[in-house]
Amino acid sequence: MHCHQKTIKQKIKVSGKGLHTGEKIDVVLSPMPVDSGLWFLRADQPDAQPVLAATENVSDTRLATTLGRGRNSVGTIEHLLAVLGGLGVNNLKVEVCGPETPIFDGSALPWVELLQNVGLQTFNSPRPCRRVRRPFEIIDGDAFVRVEPASTFSVDFTIDFPGFLKVQNRVFTFSEQAFVSEIAPARTFCLLSDVEKMQRNGKALGGGLDNAVVVSDQGVLNPEGLRFPDECVRHKILDFLGDLALAQTPILGRFTACKAGHALNQRFLAEMLAAPDYLEPLTPAAPARRSERVDREETFDYRPSLSALKQAWAH
């Protein structure tokens, strides 16, 4: 796992469409000093207060993870949080003009490219992390999330859907390279039979074949097909990593999940963090190269790079 604290080298401005609202969303990512944490702010709401990206501030888990409440809430944050965790960025301010972050192409790859384009600043300060001391499990019917002690981070995830998708399983052991190439490119997905119901409930209003994998009983409707044969379970791992980032520190352990979604992920995390003696703190002490803060500003109109997509499809 990443041992030292990081932020981005310069401010980033980006725009995109919201998956659930269909609105054009403007986002500004700004560097923050050591020990700041990750903060979200509704920049379009007068007198809005910043919200720390922590599990106690989660207000909604229906089809996405939402921080804050009412007009001070920001939804669909899990892809960005997964990338911040995957690249080791733990000090950042995210200002959002709209009720959710952009969906881009439905994966986390756009966020990876944006952060890699501006570069990351590594601080000399160690990044605290925690290690699982004994097993912990949450069960909800035939769905569950479990963690056992381990010296690394891994997740074994299983999905089980009717029709074309059926059962998919994948084991992911963390490395930054594996996250970027194997998990970040996996797009969000839905069943065609669920689309009308979601839209009646005011969800997925911005969804389409350009930002989601849509699956019917006959197969995948997207003309380009899948980026991976098991793209859907890879995306579930991506969502899980984003939800787990709300622990605020990396957690070393062997995680197993079956048929879990945002609600169960957050229930698991909240109850594990509240329970005594399940986690022990670890603080790496090795020195790191200090880099200087850069206060420049970059603006990006995101378009997925062909080379990045080819790399994703190759895997």
List the structure tokens of 222: 């997207």
**Rounded distance, CA 297 to CA 90, Å?**
19
Residue 264 tokens read as 């169960």
Please tell me the distance from the alpha carbon of residue 5 to that of residue 121, in angstroms, as a whole number. Answer: 9
Cα 139 versus chain centre, distance: 22
Whole-angstrom Cα Rg for the chain = 19
Cβ within 8 Å of residue 229, ≥6 positions away: none
* Alpha-carbon separation of residue 39 from 75, 91, 175, 265, 299 (angstroms): 13, 8, 25, 20, 20
From CA 65, how far away is CA 266, in angstroms rounded? 9
- Rounded to the nearest 5 percent, the helix, strand and coil shares of the chain are 25, 35, 40
Q: Catalytic: 235? A: no
Measured CA to CA, the distance from residue 166 to residue 246 in angstroms comes to 30
Per the listing, tokens 């192409």 go with 105
* Cα 84 to Cα 7, 71, 72, 88, 92, distances in angstroms: 9, 24, 22, 6, 9
Bridge partners, 187 (sequence order): none
Q: Is-contact 90 84, C-beta < 8 A? A: yes
Residue of 110, 278, 279 whose CA lies nearest to 180? 110
3-state SS assignment for residue 124: strand
Is residue 88 within 8 Å of 127, Cβ to Cβ? yes
Out of 4, 20, 262, 315, the active site residue is 262
* Residues with a known catalytic role: 262
